[in-house]
Structure 1
Amino acid sequence: MTMTVPTTEELAEVADLARRVRAQLDTVLSGLDDAIDATLATVLAEGHLLLEDVPGVGKTTLARALGRAVDASVGRIQFTPDLLPSDVTGVSIYRADDHSFEFRPGPVFANIVVADEINRASPKTQAALLESMQERSVTVDGATRALPAPFLVVATQNPVDMEGTYPLPEAQRDRFMTRIAVGYPSGADELAMLESHDGHDPLGDVVPVTSAAALTRAISVVRRVYASTAVKQYIVAVVRGTRASADLRLGASPRASLQLLAACKARAAMLGRDHVLPDDVKSLAVPVLAHRVIPAAQARAAGRSAEQIVADVVSQVAVPTAREPEPLRRG
C-alpha cells in the first residue's frame, strides 16, 4: 500500500510540537539533550519509554515533566513489592443494591502512564502491563477494554544490582521502544540545577503546550514518513548483526526492527524531513536495541556493556550511500 508522505506544513507542525515540549523539559533538566531527543522520538512514534539509572538523577522528574507538558490524562503508579496487578489494571466492585459488578479502572487507563520504579514490584505485577503495552487494551474478568489514544508508558527503574529490585523479563523489556540512561550531570549542569531548585520546584513551571488530540495527529504524520528499501535493509542488517554477534547471547527481535524504523521516522519528522536517513538509524540504534539484547558471558567478563556491543555492531554494518528513486507520494 502506497502512503502519501507528510506535507511541509504537517512536518512543520510536528517539529514545532517537539520544540515546545522540549522547551518545557529543558526548564526542569539541563544537559540531557540526547536523552530528551530519544524521549521525544519515542513519544512521537507512540512507543513506550524506559528510563534506567541510579536513584536521584532525574528519571522521575523527566517522566513527570513530560506528563505535564501534554494536556492529556496522566496515570502515575508507584511500584512497590506489595503492589497487586489489580492496582494497575483496575478491579470489578460488587454493587449490592442492584446485584451487579462495576468496573473501577486503574491508573493504566490514561494517555500517559508514569510507572515509577517498575522493577521494585513482583514479576506478576510487572506482567500486568504486558497486554496494555502491546495491544493497548486491558482484560479484566473476561472483558477486554480499550485504552485511550494515544497511550504511552513512561517507566523508571533502578539498576538490577541495587537492593529491592526484580529484573524485568525479556518479554517486557522488548515492549519498550527505547531505554535511556539519564546519567550524572556535568559540574556546570549540576550547579545550574542547584540554582534553579533552590527554594523552588521547577516542575511547577511546566505547563501544557500541546494536547492529546494534537499529539495523535503528530503520531499519524510520523507514520507516513518515507523510508526507502535501502534504509529498511540497513535496519535489518543492524538488527541481524546483533543476532550474529559472538558478544551477545540474545540478539534483537523482529519487533526491534519495527520499533527502530518507527523511532527513526519520528526523528526525521522532528527535524523537518519527510524521509528517513541512515543517520537516524545510527542515532537511535543503541537506545532502541541495547535493552533487548543479552551480552554473552565472555563479554560480561571483559566488562563490555550492551550499549558498547550494539554500537560496535552498528559501526561494522555498511551504510547505504545513495537514496533510491522514490515513487510519487504526494497528491
Structure 2
Amino acid sequence: MKIPSSIWTLLIGILLTLVSLWYGQNHGLLPTAATDEADLVDGLFNTMMVVSTGIFLLVEGILIYSAFKYRRRPGDNSDGPPVEGNIPLEILWTAIPAIIVLGISVYSFDVYNEMGGFNPHAVHEAPITQQSMKMPGAAIAATLNDTPPSTEPNLNQQKSDEAMQDPATAAVRNADQIPQKRNAPGVGIVSPTIGPVPAKEGKPPAMIVNVTGLQYAWIFTYPETDVTSGELHVPVGREVQLSMSANDVIHAFWVPEFRLKQDVIPGRQSEIRFTPKKEGNYDLICAELCGPYHGAMRTQVIVEKQEAFDNWIQEQLVASTETLNQAVAVNTEDISPDKFLAPYTKDMGIQPEILYQIHH
C-alpha cells in the first residue's frame, strides 16, 4: 500500500518537531546557570535553538532529498524543465521567517525587561527640547562629545560623587582626571544599566559593590565595610548591585555563568543588578579588547553562603589593619608606595601591577 505524500509530510513534521524540541533543551552548550537572571536568558537561548534546529533540519533535509530525487540519470542528457516560480510559495517562505524573527524579538525584549534592562522612566529624566526633536542626531552627538552644553544635572557626576564618598573607592578611582560625561538631551541616562527587575522597582539593592576596571585588573570595594579586594565575593541569594567605572579605557564585565556582560566606560557609571543562586567560583573575564595584556585581565567571583561571606569580610578587615600596622612600623626606607605595599597586598589578592596603575 502506497502511503500518501500528505501522511509522509505529517510524519516528517512531527519527527522534526520532536527532535528540535529535544535538542533545544539538551544541547549542553551553556555553562552552569548561577543567577536568577541566567534562567531567563537560557529560556530565550533554548527557544532559539529549537527554532534554528528545526529550520536547519528542514532545509538540509529538502536539499539532500532534492539532490537525490532529481539527480541526473545515466544517459539522460536532456535539459531540465523550465520553472517560472511559485508566488504563493515565495510569499510563504518569506512570511514564516518574518514571523519567527518578530516573535523572537518580542520574546527578547520581554527577557530584557524582566532582567531590569528596560527602564522607561530613564527616558523622561532628561527634558526633550525642540532642538533635539528636530535633530535626532544631536542626541548621539551629545552622548559622544558632550555637546551641546547642558545646564541639566550631570547624572554620571552625581553617581560618581556617591561612589567617591567611600574612601576605599576614592583611593582607587581617578575621578579627578576623568570628566564624567553628560547624558544625551531627550534620551535620558545613556550609561549601560541593568536595573532592578520590575517586581523590585524602587527598592534599594541588598548589597552594593563598587567595581573599578583598569589595565589590567579589577578592583572591588565594599562601601559598607571599606574592604578592598582583587576578587569579587558575594553572598548567595542576595541581590547585588555593581556600580562600575573605568580608570583608563573601555573594559567589559563578563561572567558567563551569570549570563551578564556590561561595558565599563571611563566617564560613565555603569550599573548591573543580579541575584546569585548557586555557590561556587566563577571566572570574571574582560570581554573588551583593552590593551596588549587584555587576555590576562581576569579574576574570580566567589558566591558563598552568608556566613562564609561575613567571615571573609572580617578576615579582610583584620588583614588590612595588620598590614597598616606593619607598614607604619617598618617603613623606614624612601620607596614608592606601590613597591612598599606589594608584599602585603599580595595576600589580599591584589597584584603589584594594580597599585602601579593606581598611582600612575
TM-score higher than 0.5 here? Answer: no
Greater RCO between the two (CA within 8 Å, min separation 6)? 1
TM range (shorter): under 0.3
TM-score (ref. length: structure 1): 0.25
TM-score (ref. length: structure 2): 0.23
